[in-house]
């Protein structure tokens, strides 16, 4: 290890649920970027490191800092420039003995930025390595090596990623008849999904497809309130579907041909239904806050559903560990193992297009086949220091009824539905979920459990 240590300070947590995040120029500055690069070089000595960035205004500056730290540690750097998170992860997996880092704050507002560190298997590094990196980042002085690494520029060279995506497409002839509106939200998803679909022959209408770090088109998170323009264009253009990505292209939310937005877990259930028809007994992975539609489809198609804690790394690592075919999240994350077991908005687009072509039916009709449920998600304010106490109080109140403590408290109510209460990892609040088969059952469940949660917070 070439980095000189002059003083070790106690390491506060830097990594959140998705890498290191904060306001650029305040928490996330070029000095931190240099230390992230240096720490990464020290943790992975001699490894080639693929670096890439999203389109934020601060991303170039931070990329230079990371590169300088790595080169000073003697690591060779492959600069992939503007790239989506899943494409960089794929390239790391397929570049022997390399690791990676992407400069991105995903769907956060434009003033934010951050770092996601990618292990040699192309998946974000595990907790244990994050902790090692945190300790290294807090060194206050780094000494440059005598043999700095070399940097090569490989921006835009993602041919092998496109080839692998194309190999998952069922039939090209069906795609030529599809009209698809892709809303990249001015994010780097503009580099992949519209290009791939055009290459396959689809008629693609691009919305917010100029990469712009200020996100002038819409808020970067693909939530219903941000997708009004996409819904309207799908209707006006009589398109077959609409696809919306977040800022780094790892999530996709779909709009059907009627212009209606489909929740992420219904899209997951559709893909699950399609895949299980051809792969009976396959394993599916989803976080514990996922709709019953996913477990009902697994039951019907004889799949095996494995629930995890909330978080994309949890899903990715579990997909690999149990040998699952598919993973998914309600926020529009789809993990398809035969492609690469990370959240990838472009493979999500391929799998939904496959479902439309294979069935020869409109997207809304495919989704209508799935069972319907009623879900509510509430945010209950709770101070940072009070979360554990509130969850503890609720635990003793619900003693004997808890079906899982994997992430917060989940109570399954047999045929009626379920509730989940968990502490938010990023905000001062508890998240309260409830789902039922009918609206009146949902109301009953809320009447029973909401007062308990509110009392526990007090």
Q: Which is nearer to Mg ion, 102 or 196 (CB)?
A: 102
What's the chain's Rg over C-alpha atoms? 22
Burial of 400 (0-12, 13-18, 19+ CB in 10 A): exposed
Q: How many helices (H) and strands (E) does the chain have?
A: 15, 21
356/202 Cα distance (integer angstroms): 13
Q: Is 312 a catalytic residue?
A: no
257/356 Cα distance (integer angstroms): 11
Binding residues for Mg ion, total number by CB under 5 A: 4
Of 59, 98, 106, 316, the catalytic one is 106
59/83 Cα distance (integer angstroms): 11
246 binds Mg ion (CB under 5 A): yes
Burial of 30 (0-12, 13-18, 19+ CB in 10 A): middle
What minimum distance in Å lies between the beta carbon of 342 and Mg ion? 11
248 binds Mg ion (CB under 5 A): yes
- The pairs formed by 67-70 with CB atoms below 8 angstroms and a separation of 24 or more are 67/37, 67/151, 68/34, 68/37, 69/33, 69/34, 69/35, 69/36, 69/37, 69/38, 69/39, 69/40, 69/41, 69/142, 70/37, 70/38, 70/40, 70/41, 70/149
73 binds Mg ion (CB under 5 A): no
What minimum distance in Å lies between the beta carbon of 330 and Mg ion? 14
What minimum distance in Å lies between the beta carbon of 220 and Mg ion? 9
Q: Which position among 38, 84, 106, 226 is part of the footprint of Mg ion (CB under 5 A)?
A: 106
Q: Which is nearer to Mg ion, 22 or 69 (CB)?
A: 22
Contact 291, 375 (CB under 8 A): yes
Helix (H, G, I), strand (E, B) or coil at 402: coil
Tell me which residue has its CB nearest to Mg ion: 106
Q: Which is nearer to Mg ion, 54 or 273 (CB)?
A: 54
Q: Which is nearer to Mg ion, 3 or 19 (CB)?
A: 19
What minimum distance in Å lies between the beta carbon of 245 and Mg ion? 8
Which regions of 92-237 does DSSP assign to beta strands (E)? Answer: 98-103, 112-118, 151-153, 179-183, 203-207
* Max Cα-Cα span within the chain: 71
Q: Which position among 64, 78, 250, 256 is part of the footprint of Mg ion (CB under 5 A)?
A: 250
The candidate with the shortest Cα–Cα distance to 117, out of 95, 138, 100, 98, is: 100
Contact 11, 138 (CB under 8 A): yes
Q: Which is nearer to Mg ion, 54 or 265 (CB)?
A: 54
Interface positions, 438-457, toward Mg ion (CB under 5 A)? none
Q: Which is nearer to Mg ion, 308 or 312 (CB)?
A: 312
Q: Which is nearer to Mg ion, 124 or 256 (CB)?
A: 124
124 binds Mg ion (CB under 5 A): no
Q: What is the H or E stretch that residue 147 is in?
A: none
What minimum distance in Å lies between the beta carbon of 313 and Mg ion? 12
Q: Which listed range, 98-106, 202-210, 223-231, 364-372, lies at the site for Mg ion (CB under 5 A)?
A: 98-106
In the numeric block, which tokens belong to residue 317? Answer: 């690592």
209/212 Cα distance (integer angstroms): 9
Q: Which listed range, 100-108, 216-224, 225-233, 383-391, lies at the site for Mg ion (CB under 5 A)?
A: 100-108
Q: Which listed range, 1-9, 102-110, 324-332, 433-441, lies at the site for Mg ion (CB under 5 A)?
A: 102-110
Q: Tell me the per-residue interface mask from 197 to 236 with Mg ion, x by CB under 5 A, - otherwise.
A: ----------------------------------------
Residues paired with residue 335 on neighbouring β-strands, in sequence order: 327, 343
What minimum distance in Å lies between the beta carbon of 6 and Mg ion? 37
Q: Which is nearer to Mg ion, 51 or 293 (CB)?
A: 51
What minimum distance in Å lies between the beta carbon of 253 and Mg ion? 12
In the numeric block, which tokens belong to residue 28? Answer: 């996330």
What minimum distance in Å lies between the beta carbon of 246 and Mg ion? 4
Q: Which is nearer to Mg ion, 246 or 274 (CB)?
A: 246
What minimum distance in Å lies between the beta carbon of 193 and Mg ion? 14
Which regions of 12-109 does DSSP assign to beta strands (E)? Answer: 15-16, 19-23, 48-53, 77-82, 98-103
The candidate with the shortest Cα–Cα distance to 254, out of 272, 264, 169, 225, is: 264
User: Which residues contribute to the site for Mg ion (CB under 5 A)?
Assistant: 106, 246, 248, 250
* Active site members: 106
């Amino acid at each position: 290890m070439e980095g000189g240590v002059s003083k070790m300070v106690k390491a506060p947590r830097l990594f959140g649920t998705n890498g290191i995040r904060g306001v650029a120029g305040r928490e996330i500055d070029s000095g931190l970027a240099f230390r992230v690069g240096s720490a990464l070089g020290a943790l992975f000595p001699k490894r080639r490191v693929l670096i890439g960035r999203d389109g934020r205004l601060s991303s170039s500056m931070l990329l230079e800092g990371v590169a300088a730290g790595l080169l000073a540690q003697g690591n060779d750097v492959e600069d992939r420039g503007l790239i989506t998170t899943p494409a960089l992860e794929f390239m790391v997996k397929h570049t022997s003995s390399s690791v990676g880092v992407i400069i991105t704050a995903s769907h956060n507002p434009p003033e934010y930025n951050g770092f996601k560190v990618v292990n040699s298997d192309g998946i974000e590094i595990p907790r244990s390595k994050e902790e090692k990196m945190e300790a290294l980042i807090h060194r206050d002085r780094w000494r440059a090596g005598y043999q700095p690494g070399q940097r090569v520029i490989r921006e835009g060279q993602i041919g092998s990623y496109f080839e692998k995506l194309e190999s998952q497409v069922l039939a090209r002839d069906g795609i030529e008849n599809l009209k698809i509106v892709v809303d990249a939200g001015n994010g780097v998803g503009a580099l992949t999904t519209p290009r791939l679909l055009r290459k396959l022959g689809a008629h693609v209408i691009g919305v917010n497809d100029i990469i712009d770090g200020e996100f002038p088109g819409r808020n970067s998170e693909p939530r219903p309130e941000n997708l009004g323009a996409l819904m309207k264009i799908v209707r006006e253009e009589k398109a077959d579907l609409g696809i919306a990505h977040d800022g780094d292209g790892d999530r996709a939310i779909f709009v059907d041909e009627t212009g209606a937005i489909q929740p992420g877990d219904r899209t997951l259930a559709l893909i699950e239904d399609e895949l299980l028809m051809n792969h009976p007994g396959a394993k599916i992975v989803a976080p514990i806050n996922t709709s019953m539609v996913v477990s009902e489809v697994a039951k019907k198609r004889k799949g095996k559903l494995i629930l995890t804690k909330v978080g994309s790394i949890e899903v990715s690592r579990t997909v690999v560990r149990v040998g699952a075919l598919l993973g998914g999240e309600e926020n529009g994350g789809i993990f398809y193992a035969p492609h690469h077991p990370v959240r990838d908005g472009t493979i999500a687009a391929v799998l939904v297009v496959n479902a439309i072509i294979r069935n020869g039916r409109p997207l809304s009709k495919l989704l209508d086949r799935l069972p319907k449920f009623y879900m509510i998600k509430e945010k209950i304010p709770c101070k940072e220091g009070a979360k554990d106490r509130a969850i503890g109080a609720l635990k003793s109140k619900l003693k004997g009824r808890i079906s899982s403590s994997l992430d917060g408290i989940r109570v399954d109510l047999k045929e009626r539905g379920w509730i989940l209460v968990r502490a938010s990892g990023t905000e001062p609040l508890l998240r309260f979920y409830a789902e039922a088969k009918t609206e009146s059952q949902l109301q009953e469940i809320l009447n029973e459990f909401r007062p308990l949660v509110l009392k526990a917070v007090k």
